[in-house]
Structure 1
Amino acid sequence: MWQSISLTLAATAGNNIGKVLQKKGTLILPPLSFKLKVLRAYAINKAWVTGLLIDIIGALLMLRALSQAPVSIIQPVSGCGLAILSIFSHFYLKEIMNAVDWVGITLAGVGTIGVGIGGEEQSGSTISFIHLLWLVSIVAILFVLLNGWLRIFKHQRREQELMHFDVVEEIISGLESGILFGMASVISKMGFVFSEQGFPKVFIPICISISICCSGIGFFYQTRGLKHGRAIVVSTCAAVASILTGVLAGMLALGEQLPAAPLARLFVLLGWLLIMAGVILLVSSQKLLFLAPRPLRQFLHGGSERNFGIRRSNSVRLRDPSPTTLVSISPLHHLKASPAKAKT
């Protein structure tokens, strides 16, 4: 189990750090197109190429982890990618970390250890086609309800001539993208489970292809929400929805169960909660610090509020609050709202 968790941490670190390096490389590059000069410029940019290779290696490591461990373990642990990225940004990009960030990193790390300890007794997965049919039906109905709810709020906003997204619309966009990101991991795992149960090996690339499609659609929903709404709301909902979807869908469709031993079960449940709490704190740390009283804000940040504002606004804050998925992780520059929008 610890080997699978280590692979997951390495994979999510590669995915997130790879996106940071790609973003850093694109700062001096033209928009990507199929023109020969543009492609050559990307190919000779060391930062972009290095980031792409690390991202691909991360995706392969995630596939390896999913082939060895239950998705109900892998998906929550993958949420720690944001904690790893925060540490990388602190030392590599010289980004200032506040006390809330460090608390979030600590909670995510402790949660991962708890999941690792309790997950030792996890048994193999078995696909129930009846449960799988129920899962597909539930997801389809849920999306119909969410999109219907979204249309109602859009119609009300147009009637009232309001320009900004309502908070409900932000929540719905985050939930939809998070559900799809979580389902991407579950579908990838299904390919390996089919293979273990004696089905043809062709199911593995088929399931991975479907997983990539789910990630792509999830990225579309997330980008739509981030374009018009607040990054903190959309990203938090997406992160939590992704973890919960991976856990619940893994148990429902793949027959994964909690450990039988009460202590091991407690470790797993606490691990899930701590990881989600850590992810939420990391996503919302800047907002929480902004809302804190001035003396507390200065204390949490080390007594340098002015430097905090300058460094945060001038540096490229390349966090990816979206949950780590199998292949597609949202480009980090889409997840940072503009300063004016972040304060709304």
Structure 2
Amino acid sequence: MWESICLTLLATAGNNIGKVLQKKGTVVLPPLSFKLKVIQSYAGNRLWMIGFFMDIFGAVLMLKALSDAPVSVIQPVSGCGLAILCVFSHFYLKELVNALDWIGIALAGLGTIAVGLGGEEQDNSGISLLDLPWLAFTVSIMFIIMNSGLRVYKNRRREQELIQYEVAEEVIIGLESGILFGTASVISKMGFALAKAGYSPIIVPACISISICCSASGFVLQTGGLRQGRAIVVSTCAAVAAIVTGVLAGLLALGERLPVDPARRLFLLLGWVMIVAGVILMVASTRILSLFRRPLGRAHLKRPTSLRVREPGPSTVIQAASLHHLISSPAKEKA
């Protein structure tokens, strides 16, 4: 179990740090296209190439971790990528990390240890190929419900001639993208479990292909939400939804179970809560601190929804050319 957790941490570190290096490398590069000169310029940029290979290496490690450990353990631990990114940004990029960031990092780290102490190997031999359609059906029903609500809010905003997204719209888009990212990890794990249960080995690349489609759809949704809504709301909802989806789908679709031993069960549940709390703190730290810094005389004032200005958010999602996001959970980073 600890080996898989370490692989997950290395994978999410490679994924997140790789994206930062890719972003820094693209500062002096033209927009990515299939033109030969553009491809050569990217291939000749040392920083971008290092980030690219770190991203790919992280994706391979994540697949290895998913093949050996329960997704209800791997998915929450992958959320610690933001903590690793904060530390990297602080010491390498010399970015300021505030007190709430450090608290979030500590919570994520302690939560990972707790998950390691409480997690245990799972027997997925009882999994059936029919579980895949049931998972797809459940996710589809959830999206029908959420999209119906999203359409209602969009129509109301159009009638009131509002420009910015309402909070409910931002939440729904974040939840939808997070659910797709979490589902992608579950489907990848399902492929490995079905292969071990005696199904044809071709089921593994088939499930990975489906997970790529899920993550690509989540990427499109999240990108649209980040452009039109507030990054802090969309990113937080996506991160939490990805973790919760991985845990619930692992327990319900893959037959994973909570430990029988009360102590191990307590550690596992506590670890899940601490990781989620740490992720929320790291994503929302700047916003939370800004609320405390407001003058007391203005603390009670609220701006009307129609005049709300989109916040840049302390965290943005750097996902360009990311294979990891096409097979596992989304990674967030500090802007």
User: Structure 1-normalised TM-score?
Assistant: 0.87
- 1:137 corresponds in structure 2 to 137
- CA–CA distance in 2 between the matches of 1:52 and 1:229? 28
The CA deviation string for residues 257-305 of structure 1, in whole angstroms up to 9 with x for no partner, is: 000000000000000000000000000011111111369xxxxxxxxxx
1:67 paired to 2:58: no
Query: 1:4 deviation in Å?
Result: 0.2
Gaps of 5+ in 1: 296-312, 337-344
- CA–CA distance in 1 between the matches of 2:123 and 2:317? 31
The CA deviation string for residues 139-197 of structure 1, in whole angstroms up to 9 with x for no partner, is: 11110011111111111001000000000000000000000000000000011001101
Tell me the amino acid that sits aligned with residue 122 of structure 2: S
- 1:239 corresponds in structure 2 to 239
Gaps of 5+ in 2: 296-311
**Contact 2:184–2:328 (Cα < 8 Å) also in 1:** no
- 2:15 corresponds in structure 1 to 15
Query: 1:326 deviation in Å?
Result: 5.8
- CA–CA distance in 1 between the matches of 2:28 and 2:328? 23
Sequence identity percentage:
62
- 1:122 corresponds in structure 2 to 121
- CA–CA distance in 1 between the matches of 2:73 and 2:283? 21
**Contact 1:165–1:228 (Cα < 8 Å) also in 2:** yes
Q: Secondary structure at the match of 2:258?
A: coil
- CA–CA distance in 1 between the matches of 2:294 and 2:143? 42
Query: 1:329 deviation in Å?
Result: 6.8
Query: 1:130 deviation in Å?
Result: 5.5
Once superposed, what is the RMSD of the aligned Cα atoms? 2.3
Query: 1:36 deviation in Å?
Result: 1.5
- CA–CA distance in 2 between the matches of 1:115 and 1:259? 11
Tell me the amino acid that sits aligned with residue 283 of structure 1: V
- 1:305 corresponds in structure 2 to none
Q: Secondary structure at the match of 1:201?
A: coil
Distance 1:321 1:257, change over 3 A: farther
**Contact 2:104–2:282 (Cα < 8 Å) also in 1:** yes
Query: 1:101 deviation in Å?
Result: 0.3
1:290 paired to 2:290: yes
Superposed counterparts of 1:118-197, under 5 Å: 118-119=118-119, 121-125=120-124, 126-129=126-129, 131-197=131-197
Tell me the amino acid that sits aligned with residue 92 of structure 1: Y
Q: Secondary structure at the match of 2:28?
A: coil
- 2:304 corresponds in structure 1 to none
**Contact 2:21–2:47 (Cα < 8 Å) also in 1:** yes
**Contact 2:81–2:332 (Cα < 8 Å) also in 1:** no
Superposed counterparts of 1:1-344, under 5 Å: 1-119=1-119, 121-125=120-124, 126-129=126-129, 131-293=131-293, 320=317, 325=325, 327=327
The CA deviation string for residues 78-122 of structure 1, in whole angstroms up to 9 with x for no partner, is: 000000000000011000111000000000000000000001x33
